[in-house]
Structure 1
């Protein structure tokens, strides 16, 4: 027990000195009102006491051991955790080493509470109601108490008796808890424990225990190396030094590089708004470097809206790290983590020979690393990814820090040493916006610098996000009577909000001249009415009309449908039409979310190659068209964010105007590069917006009846308002960037666009409900946990941890399509050549990483339906041995029948038929 305590204390001290960014050390020390050396020893002392609750009779009796020498503290039948016991005992004992027993002091109760919550949930601060608090809380004054006091004094002495800090607040206590948890996890690895047991202390004297502690200090850095917790650091550099491939920075990049350094005197938030394809990503990398240098935060986290966009950004950010990072010592490796539920399927991030499982009691495997920034099995463990120095992932990874999930403070601790970049900020819905605002309050309170990026952000959302960050930094709510921090959004442009002074500086405040942008031809917008067939939109006539020039003369177009089913149907009708043209038919591609993971990745790579910038350079002569002669991409909303595509024409179902502008950003995207020869029919970028036809006999101003499937995805009132806005602008082009912000703001703010008061009220009511759900779900603001951490773990009502979601109504089930032949054998493929494995090929039937990748890469995410959460039919349940794998146990099987003649029979589940079509994906 003493050895583990001293190991934990040593790990905390090593983490303090070698892992924590300098700015984090200073922030914590300032909150304690002490210097960084003393603060580090305090934290190490606390870490050494995290398991003192194990020195109780109730804990030790869990194993069959003779405890006759330790009478007292008899088993009362209660089964409190040892963390709870730690939190209840320390307030009684810390005063004996100089800690204040004054009820007005928050230090002793917060230290006790944070250590009591090291297993992920905080208990309340205990209050004694009798004259003998030791007995009241189930502690005796006999041998057990002697052991606890001996451990307390041993750890205290080994850490050179650090004096109680003058102050400690709740937010900083929560962050310190994250550090304590990390220290505990590191020294609980099996290899380390076994190695230290080979040379235990000769006796229990102070000299022997100090020697054990000193040896742990020497050995623990290797644990950080094996876990991949080394630093990725970048030296100061100009924008042009950071991006030598950009020979002439654009107006946005030049403005930021020229003015932001003088504003970056400490923590703050930078909001960047600019059109699609305007180099916001490179600007964000440079801004993050400036903020990181100013605040002593070496880490980075880039948050994206989806797994696909995170995968794309991880590749891009890794290239930047390889160019910019200081030399990475191969013996002190650092990880650039990819964080989302399917990240482990990425072979560029996770080596194929990495072990398939990882637990706290496991060894490190740095020998598996194939690049300086590849994953370690330790960081792939649950809840650990944000502990990597640099990381890219879905925004959910950060938002989980403000939900009362277990170990949420480990995530917050991981963010504290980073510059946090949120890309595609406009993609958050009202539910996620509340979560993001609360995260920004916490990041502001913890002095974490933030960068927000958006192409289409409503000014009120920009104001709410900036205000939330400054509320966290200033420690109080913004009064209604105070001027709002963001009264409008300069577009394109940027602003800087200083966390210490709360001053908000816009680019126009420093240079009144508008930021120059890449020259773009005006966007022509056309509304095209579509009929309906059997209650569904009938796009056939419009598509034949608009795509006829492409079929005859060549070119590239995208068709975006609102639902997967409609995209599949549209693909089918275009395939039938194109088949009439034989070898001269245009290429046809389909992309949506209901393809098996591996197939979706392959399709994404193909369309980036065929429609992307790099693919456009494949050719032999300057000026020749390098893209396909003729090609059409049918897709859902998955291509509107972060995919670098270029088409001559965009055809899309109507959607809120901000999303239409996002989609239009894929039209003539690379025109300024001069690398694409456009077909003669494409005189300029064109956006065809499909809208429902007017009811027969209705006048020109009568509102259309939008298909129910479209209303299931977007609020009816936003479709109506967007339609009215575009009708009003009939015949006008959209200038980018000049018209973007007025369109994004106007669709919400212009009441003359309202066509249906009931629909408007319904939308506003639904948004209020989503915000209400989110406010009930998030942890309290930093100011609400100043003296008590309980709110970080408990809500005012019982809640299942699995119900704590960062997205309201998101896909949450993964299905695996498999096949059953006429003889009852189960297969992974319709050809019945790959058996469905019931057990793994590893030790004791465990699944290897290769097997897990093979299985999970075939899964498909689907929205949870009525059958989710109920006991599945036997045919849809995974084999019993799969229960041992966290990656497999939650899968739902969709067994397709295979007849003797090879005919595929759809699977059945929840009253539906499900069929995996090799070209169209999962159909139901």
Structure 2
């Protein structure tokens, strides 16, 4: 039995207000008890659970060092990296650990030791020389503590875990130890204790505290409910398929392909609930392409997921501006007063990384993709996702090669950890579908049926009704110029039609807005270059006007950019769109004659749905500026060869028939038939070269599962390993002068955050933005965090909207170059 003086000899935490030093071995048992409670929710064998608990307990064995003890007691002794010492101590005692843990080979312990020690967000980076120096003074107490801790879990064994599995497991285990350490270090749950308990006695105390802590932070086990979430008398075809399709054995991947507005989200929830009850996950994480789509999804699912679990689940919103979501704040603020409702604990809501540990999370796809990149605390994200059914929406928007490659890596890593996933899409090319199915061992049958529900390596539902629904086919007509579009919209709006014009570039959208206003049309504008406050205000107004239950839409016009493709549930009578890749156009059409149950054809001011496309003639391509002659800035948004192929097939077909005609249109736009006109060959070569480059970059960036956490893990800044590529953005924080001082441009409690607007860095660099050393500006920025000063620029806005020469801001138009 370990002596009490040995327990007291090595402190793990500085003395707090009560003057008590928490012994290192007590803290190690705190963390072990949390890890033990979490592991109880997993499918590991009892022997493996006990072995992993022992390793989790040993995470801070490096605190047994005289310099660390002196540091805790206020000495000026140079600090020591205790977690790097943990790695050295454990490898020096690997033979002892092998006797205790009984791996098939001592080398099986290598990646798990790396994971145990690397619980501060990174594996150890000490050189061989630094490790040799650390080995010189390893206290004898280290072995005594290892043996004493091992006696508490006598059934521990790692037998049966092969080499590949040990490397795979190291990524997940690092996240487990990090989570357990964060909780076990929280003085609210684990207050400092005098060294008066035996180890067995203290472990009993720690286990009681761990149970309360797990519940208090919001990550306790929550069984799935069989309560019917949707008790509708009639289900749509995809929803019926999701309710009845055979589930695959073990971790599974499902891909749901159906048209916009077909109820895919509800179908995914039905399937996810069945997967939860089949123990394929203990929670859900919804991954969306943008913050706007994540906010919209959060508003929807937060009203539904409470029915999917026996107890009310913890629910989080995970993205950079989650705190500005009114729906999320309502849940956070209401939780203390209504613990019987879904909620979010303060601990979960305090960090985007922790947010992935909640029972249900909604966030941007970036939060999930970061679990595949070598950034700090990457394994914490991986661990949080591993127990969730990962639901990725709008997958077609993630087809850019860099994101697609990273998504593929995410699915592979998720499967290795035993996780299951559901992908939702309206316009997924079969080539990309095949690549995604392969991550779960599925071979694509290449069947072009649409809609389709496919289980990787399992069942497939292909025989769904092809009824076009009450909207019927959408005719396609070409408009030769933006001027033609202005006149058409003016004419249609005068008849009372609710009109929309989707443009490819913000500058073009602003120009169209101004042209319509000049014609006396009361148009509104929405794009990505507004302050967050103005964008939310305009989105709210547009939902109230053009949404499912919108009022006062007659004769109103909205001009927007790609933000209209998926972030808002809007319904228009007339749609004009700039030529865009086929997938984008199909998405846009989903906003045309959308809610036919509320606005049937008889109540529409136009006789049939028509998509008017501003485009040059694809049969008259005379030079490389074919696209630029008609589309201004928007001609550079997408590659001209893809645009030409879309135009060729779209106008040749002259209609979009959903759902039966969607797959042929999508596939034709990405096929090589017919060949691109010779004058556009350069665009095709450049595009393919860029795609290959982006795919290669992703392949270099993503972590290699087979390397294990010790070799593959890193601690780079998130910005060093982006989750998506594109022009670098710069954030401007707009201000206005009031009573002789600068205040946020947008009024309100979150004024500075709501006053942010982003634009391409290369455009802003050409301008003379306000001098950041100005006293009135430094009066604000001096209190900013250091990282903010490197990424944000404070910009006072004059009464006339000007910021500097050639840059201004207006609440109705946004940021204007």
TM-score, normalising length from structure 1? Answer: 0.78
**Structure 2 partner of 1:840:** none
1:699-743 deviation line (CA, Å, top 9, x unaligned): 7999444546224321121112212223433xx322111111111
**1:923: Cα distance to partner?**
1.6
Which residue in 2 is equivalent to 1:803? 720
Show the counterpart of 2:7: none
Identify the residue that residue 253 of structure 1 maps to in structure 2: 239
Aligned counterpart, 1:157:
151
Query: Aligned equivalents of 1:81 and 1:789: distance in 2?
Result: 17
Distance 2:331 2:567 in 1: 28
1:43 is matched with 52
Partner of 2:412: 441
Distance 1:47 1:165 in 2: 18
CA drift of 1:15 comes to 4.7
Alignment match, 2:229: 242
Q: Is residue 826 from structure 1 mapped to residue 747 from structure 2 by the alignment?
A: no
Aligned with 2:439: secondary structure? helix
CA displacement, residues 737-759 of structure 1 (integer Å, 9 cap, x when unaligned): 11111111111113315122221
CA change 1:61–1:519 in 2 (3 A) is same
1:771 matched to 2:695? The reply is yes
Alpha-carbon contact 2:745-2:751 (below 8 Å) kept:
no
Deviation at 1:774, TM superposition (A): 1.1
Equivalent residues of 1:818, 1:829 under 8 A apart: yes
Mapping for residues 88-107 of structure 1, pairs under 5 Å: 88-97=88-97, 98-99=99-100, 104-107=105-108
Contact 2:174 2:379 in 1 (8 A): yes
Q: What per-residue deviation string (whole Å, max 9, x for no partner) do you get for residues 216-263 of structure 1?
A: 2112233223323245543225xxx3212x3211122222322x1x33
Instruction: For 1:443 and 1:419, locate their aligned partners in 2 and report how far apart those are by CA, in whole Å.
Output: 9
Distance 1:888 1:381 in 2: 22
Alpha-carbon distance in structure 1 between the residues aligned to 2:793 and 2:338: 33
> Is residue 527–residue 690 contact of structure 1 (8 Å, CA) maintained in 2?
yes
**Matched residue count:** 784
Matched, 1:741 2:741: no
CA contact (8 A) 2:582 2:665 kept: yes
Kept in 1: contact 2:83–2:119 (CA 8 A): yes
Q: Is the 8 A contact 1:298 1:417 kept in 2?
A: yes
Residues 662-677 of structure 1 aligned to structure 2 (within 5 Å): 662-673=587-598, 677=602
Secondary structure at 2:493 match in 1: helix
Alignment of 1:416-495 (within 5 A): 416-428=386-398, 429-470=400-441, 484-495=443-454
Partner of 2:8: none
8 Å contact from structure 1 (residues 906, 914) kept in 2: yes
Q: Which position in structure 1 is the counterpart of 2:325? A: 346
Contact 1:224 1:230 in 2 (8 A): yes
2:528: which partner in 1? Answer: 593
After superposition, give the CA deviation of every residue in 1:380-406 in whole Å (9 maximum; x if it has no partner): 333211011101111111000001001
- For the residue of structure 1 that corresponds to 2:285, the secondary structure is strand
Cα 1:402–1:176, aligned 2, differ >3 Å: closer, same or farther?
same
Match of 2:385 in 1: 415
2: CA distance, partners of 1:270 / 1:413: 21
TM-score, normalised via structure 2 length: 0.88
**Cα distance 1:645–1:170, how it changes in 2: closer, same or farther (>3 A)?**
same
Deviation at 1:90, TM superposition (A): 0.3
1:645 alignment counterpart? 570
SS of the residue aligned with 1:108? helix
Distance 1:757 1:268 in 2: 41
1:619 corresponds in structure 2 to none
Partner residue in 1 for 2:374: 404
* 1:543 corresponds to which of 455, 474, 486: 486
Provide, for residues 881-915 of structure 1, a one-character-per-residue CA deviation record: whole Å limited to 9, x for no partner: 42349778843211123xxxxx436223xxx6432
SS in 1 for 2:328: coil
Query: Deviation per CA, 1:3-35, whole angstroms, max 9, x where unpaired?
Result: 454444444444543x4684xx11xx2xxxxx2
Cα distance in 2 for partners of 1:266, 1:703 equals 52
Match of 1:173 in 2: 170
Give CA-to-partner distance per residue, 1:335-362, whole Å, 9 cap, x none.
21111100011232135997xxxxxxxx
SS in structure 2 opposite 1:525?
A: strand
Contact 1:267–1:295 under 8 Å retained in 2: no
Give the aligned partner of residue 268 of structure 2.
Answer: 284
Could you give the per-residue CA deviations for residues 490-532 of structure 1, whole angstroms, max 9, x where no partner exists?
21111111xxxxx343214xxx5656564441111011111xx
Tell me, yes or no, if the aligned pair for 2:28 and 2:60 is still in contact at 8 Å.
no
Shift of 1:126: 8.8
Please tell me whether residue 791 in structure 1 is matched to residue 712 in structure 2. Answer: yes
* 1:375 corresponds to 2:341: no
Do the aligned partners of residues 21 and 751 (structure 1) sit closer, same or farther apart at CA in structure 2, a change above 3 Å counting?
Answer: farther
Within 5 Å, which residues of 2 pair with 1:217-366?
Answer: 217-236=207-226, 241-244=228-231, 246-258=232-244, 260=245, 262-328=246-312, 334-350=313-329
Aligned to 1:904: 800
Separation of aligned partners in 2, 1:6 and 1:486 = 56
CA distance in 2, matches of 1:125, 1:889: 30
- The answer to whether the 8 Å contact 1:250/1:517 transfers is no
For residue 314 of structure 1, report the CA deviation from its aligned partner. Answer: 0.5
Partner of 1:874: 773
Unaligned runs of 5+ in 1: 30-34, 68-74, 129-133, 329-333, 355-364, 472-483, 498-502, 531-538, 580-586, 616-625, 835-849, 898-902
In the TM superposition, what are the counterparts of 1:884-895 in structure 2 within 5 Å? 884=785, 890-895=791-796
| Residues in 2 aligned to 1:119 and 1:183: alpha-carbon distance in whole angstroms | 12
Kept in 1, the 8 Å contact 2:237–2:464? The answer is: no
CA RMSD of aligned residues (A): 3.4
The 1:346–1:698 alpha-carbon spacing in structure 2 relative to 1, beyond 3 Å, is closer
